[in-house]
Amino acid sequence: MKPYLTKGIKEIIDQFPEVEKILNEYDIGCGPCNVGLCQLKDIVEIHRLPVDQEQELMARITKAIDPEAEVKIPEAKEAPPPEPKAFNYSPPMRKLVDEHVLIKRWIALIPEVVKDLEVESQAGRQLVLDGVDMIRSYADKFHHAKEEDILFKYFDENSDILKVMHEDHKQARGHVQAILEALEIKDKNAIAEHLMAYAGLLTEHIRKEDEILYPWMDSSLSTRQVGELFSKFNEADLQMGFSPKKYEAFIDSLEKKLNA
């Protein structure tokens, strides 16, 4: 089993498809991950399962990889009723989770925006530009910059999980660039396609951060580091040079308009 612990999960799944099914049963979905480089040992560590569940998971994976292996799979206990996931975030992590809320409200509006997409009028084009401004200024400059320039620096940036996060941010920027290029030539289909791809990408990205990355980071940071992070985040916000209120107002008015 040991050599598999340091193997990329996608490689293991390609060789032993049963492993993906087992991981899914423990709510560890590797499907939405775009990179798939994460090593098996890191995946198990980051998801922080209760000890008995982790033992059971590893035993089942070992059996799937090597059916001859002498492994005793612990008897499954009667499943407790599923509890809603509740996370006790530290103040800086809570700040990032709260910022996700506005981004999620924008993502929820994207299918409606795409349905009524109109690029022949100035007003129609302006809506796309306002949406792009929301992504570039609020999601990227205000939020992703705090992650990339401050938070991620506390961890090994060559770790697989951070490579996945950076890659998601990069792909999101690629969609924004493609939306602007499509707007130049009034290519409605391409704008719609990249807006929807952005929405799908960010939905999964935010879920990974809220449910996996931030809780794991919180468990790894010292109290001193948490305090330091919080003041660095506040400092960064002050230096941004714009008020996030502008984007809250944009989302408020768009929700009223589209849900009217």
> Is the CB of residue 65 less than 8 Å from the CB of residue 1?
yes
- Give CA 78 to chain center in angstroms: 31
Q: How far is the CB of 216 from Fe ion (least distance, A)?
A: 14
* Choice between 44 and 213, CB closer to Fe ion: 213
Q: How far is the CB of 97 from Fe ion (least distance, A)?
A: 8
Encoded tokens for 208 = 């990974």
Element (H, E) at 208: helix 188-208
Site for Fe ion in 141-180 (CB under 5 A): 147
Q: How far is the CB of 211 from Fe ion (least distance, A)?
A: 12
* Choice between 21 and 170, CB closer to Fe ion: 170
Distance (Å, whole) CA 38 – CA 161: 6
The reply to whether 20 sits near Fe ion by the rule CB under 5 A is no
> Is the CB of residue 244 less than 8 Å from the CB of residue 98?
no
Distance (Å, whole) CA 91 – CA 33: 27
Number of residues that bind Fe ion (CB under 5 A): 2
* Choice between 160 and 209, CB closer to Fe ion: 209
Q: How far is the CB of 202 from Fe ion (least distance, A)?
A: 9
* Choice between 63 and 205, CB closer to Fe ion: 205
From the list 93, 209, 213, 229, which residue makes contact with Fe ion (rule: CB under 5 A)? 209
C-alpha closest to that of 96 among 196, 7, 241, 211: 211
* Choice between 147 and 160, CB closer to Fe ion: 147
- Residue ranges binding Fe ion (CB under 5 A): 147, 209
